[in-house]
Amino acid sequence: MERCVVSGEQIISSPDWVFHNPAKQYSTRIKRIGKNILFAWVDSDKPVALEQFEMDLVLKVLEDSSLEDKPFHVIWNLEHVKKITYSYKRGIVNFLYNAQPPLRSVVFYNIMPGFLNTVESIQAILPSFMKLHLTRDYNSALRITLDYISGEKTIANDDENHEYEKLKKNFLRAAAMIGWVNMLDQNIQLPPEGHELYPFFSALSFMQEDLASLDTLHTKKKQNLQKTYTEKIKSLDAEILSIENEKQKLLELFEKEKFELKQKLSFRRNEFRQIGMVSRNRNLSLHRLSVDIDALAPEQKKQMSDICDSLLETEQNEKKIDLPLTSTDSAFLSLLQQRHSNLKKREIKICLLIKLNYDNTDIAGFYGISKRGMESLRYRMHKKIGLKKNQSLKKHLTALSAMNQKSV
């Protein structure tokens, strides 16, 4: 069991009462002496800058010691502390004025010369019910704390009543409040004009005004940036919405085209099944005819042979346009190809569909093209066939069909 060499009280420690700097440059540790004295030190082999105030560590020790709502005291060995960061200073202020722990006294010892001004600034901003004393070593620090607890001694500087010390404390407090917590409206009590410290307080006051102006400019700049970015976000949101709408339209178009393609595929399948059935029946009929022809008289053979030639011609025409044909339609296509040999396979098929009274919309849907595309194709066929502008393609094809029927 560890005991304090000065008070003889038990020293309590815990493996949880430690804060490790994220950069692993140092650790802050705390032990409890007796019931309510916290002893803190920095575990390091070289001088360090404290970066993050150990509020969670202090609150953890207080909770484990059942001191959350009871007065306690702190002794801090600053042997390895050369400076504290701005974030650490803000943490101190937040702890003192927001956490508001029942801290009654603080004693710092082993203070490095370059860190003394910072310690004095901390001393200046302490609330009135907290006292801070600076001393040389652990023994004197503990004695001061024990005297304060017993009420035999108050922790205060002997020169507090001295005018210079009062002004110094006011100066450090104002500087810390301005610099540490950005209190730019902090009232600075200036000494009388002509006082030897008046220029310092005046300079601090001017600095406060300048920082307040800069803060106002910064706020306006921040507001302008927020406005700019808000407008950019709105613009991007509108662009995203437009893209989403366009995406939805494309999806709808895709579904529509998919449905139409399925219909065309179904139509083609039915068409091929029909063609297959016609072809099989026709081949069977031709085979039977071939057998029957052999048993006929020469005159009958000639008649049957003409019929077979007509059927064969019809079959050839069907292959050209991939459609089942009647003998009349087949004869029409044969005559059309004789008269207009420059027509392509698709154009021949379109001529048949026009003759059969299909309109442009029906034919365009059959080929998967637009109605305008069909009109353009029909115009080119009109020129190929050699018709004049005032001549109708449909009338020409109908007349050709009638001519074919008369010859038959």
Instruction: Summarize pLDDT for 175-234 with one digit per residue, the tens.
Output: 777 777 676 676 777 777 777 666 766 666 666 666 777 777 888 888 888 988 988 999
C-alpha 142/C-alpha 3 separation (Å) is 13
pLDDT above 70 coverage of the chain, percent: 78
322-407: same fold as 11-156? Answer: no
Six-digit token string for 314: 């019809």
**What pLDDT was estimated at residue 316?**
59
Q: Where are the domains of the chain?
A: 11-156, 322-407
pLDDT surpasses 90 at 77: yes
Strands 27-33 and 11-12: antiparallel
**What pLDDT was estimated at residue 271?**
65
Position 320 confidence tier, pLDDT thresholds 50, 70, 90: low
Mean pLDDT of 248-258: 89
**What pLDDT was estimated at residue 158?**
46
**What pLDDT was estimated at residue 197?**
67
Q: What is 322-407's CATH topology?
A: Arc Repressor Mutant, subunit A (1.10.10)
Mean pLDDT of 238-267: 86
Would the CA dihedral through 345, 346, 351, 356 be positive or negative?
positive
pLDDT tens figures, 116-175: 888 888 888 888 788 889 999 999 999 999 999 988 655 554 455 577 777 777 777 777
What string of H, E and C letters represents the secondary structure of the chain? CCECCCCCCEEECCCCCEEECCCCCCEEEEEEECCCEEEEEEECCCCEEECCCCHHHHHHHHHHCCCCCCCEEEEEECCCEEEECHHHHHHHHHHHHHHCCCEEEEEEECCCHHHHHHHHHHHHHCCCCCEEEEECCHHHHHHHHHHHHHCCCCCCCCCCCCHHHHHHHHHHHHHHHHHHHCCCCCCCCCCCCCCCCHHHHHHHHHHHHHHHHHHHHHHHHHHHHHHHHHHHHHHHHHHHHHHHHHHHHHHHHHHHHHHHHHHHHHHHHHHHHHHHHHHHHHHHHHHHHHHHHCCCCHHHHHHHHHHHHHHHHHHHHHHHHCCCCCHHHHHHHHHHHHHCCCCCHHHHHHHHHHHCCCCHHHHHHHHCCCHHHHHHHHHHHHHHHCCCCCCCHHHHHHHHHHHHHHHC
Position 274 confidence tier, pLDDT thresholds 50, 70, 90: low
Six-digit token string for 139: 């023994």
C-alpha 118/C-alpha 145 separation (Å) is 21
**What pLDDT was estimated at residue 110?**
96
Listed residue (33, 32, 173) closest to 97, CA to CA? 173
The mean pLDDT value of the chain amounts to 82
C-alpha 19/C-alpha 43 separation (Å) is 10
**What pLDDT was estimated at residue 295?**
67
Q: What class, spelled out in words, does domain 11-156 have in CATH? A: alpha beta
Burial 168-194 (b: 16+ CB within 10 A, else e): bbbbbbbbbbbebbeebebebeebeee
